Amino acid sequence: MSTEQIIFYFFAALVLISAFMVVSMHNLVRSIFLFFVTLFSLAALYVFAFADFVAVTQVVIYVGGVLVLMLFAFMLSNKELLSKINPVNGLIRINHIAGILVCVLFLFILLNVIIQTDFENLKWIKAADQISTNDNTVHLIGIQTMTRYLLPFEVLSVLLLMALVGAAHLARKERKV
């Protein structure tokens, strides 16, 4: 096993374990801080797919933006958000079982498809020219953004403006009439 593989599987295990702990934990603060760990190790996995720019963006946007937003959301709201949601009764348990069943069955379908597909021998994967370690992906992304993907880029900027205005409108204080 090479060093590359050891590091990759270490981060993969970190992603899955911390993600599972996030959803199984009752304490909201702890689960949000564990969410940090998941996002950081996901960024590490992106690096292994030669997507270093995406990894940096992941760190900047998620850790710098989304998580700070989430932390502020529950700091600005009442303390009750932090307290444990009511203890489970019989009905909720049944809800949980249905949810677990759906997830496990869906996971089974996905794993089945992935394991049965022989990716290495697919025609288009054999024909594709892969990104190598020497390629400059930042250079590639910069050029592609301004040429081939200009329209999605511009649409995205309009959508970001809409989201910003919408969020500001929703979060503003209601004026007494």
Partner 1 sequence: MIPLSHFLLISACLFCIGLYGVLTKRNAIQVLIGIEFMINAAVLNFVAFGRYDAEQGGGQMFALFAIILAAAGVAVALAIILNVYKHFKTIDPVKTDTLKD
Residues 3-22 within binding reach of partner 1 (CB under 8 A):
4-5, 8, 12, 15-16, 19-20, 22
Contact positions with partner 1 (CB under 8 A) in 48-77: 48-51, 53-54, 57-58, 61-62, 65-66, 69-70, 73-74, 76-77
Tell me if 125 contacts partner 1 by CB under 8 A: yes
Q: Give, as one character, the DSSP assignment of residue 59.
A: I
Tell me if 148 contacts partner 1 by CB under 8 A: yes
Instruction: Report the distance separating Cα 60 and Cα 40, nearest Å.
Output: 10
Q: Which of 75, 111, 146, 154 is in the footprint of partner 1 by CB under 8 A?
A: 111
Q: Which of 121, 171, 175, 177 is in the footprint of partner 1 by CB under 8 A?
A: 171
Number of CB atoms found within 10 A of residue 41's CB: 19
Instruction: Report the distance separating Cα 55 and Cα 34, nearest Å.
Output: 18
Would you say the C-alpha torsion 142, 144, 147, 153 has a positive or negative sign? Answer: negative
* Angle made by CA atoms 143, 146, 148, in degrees to the nearest 5: 85
Task: Compare residues 128 and 177 and give the one whose CB is closer to partner 1.
Answer: 128
Tell me if 154 contacts partner 1 by CB under 8 A: no
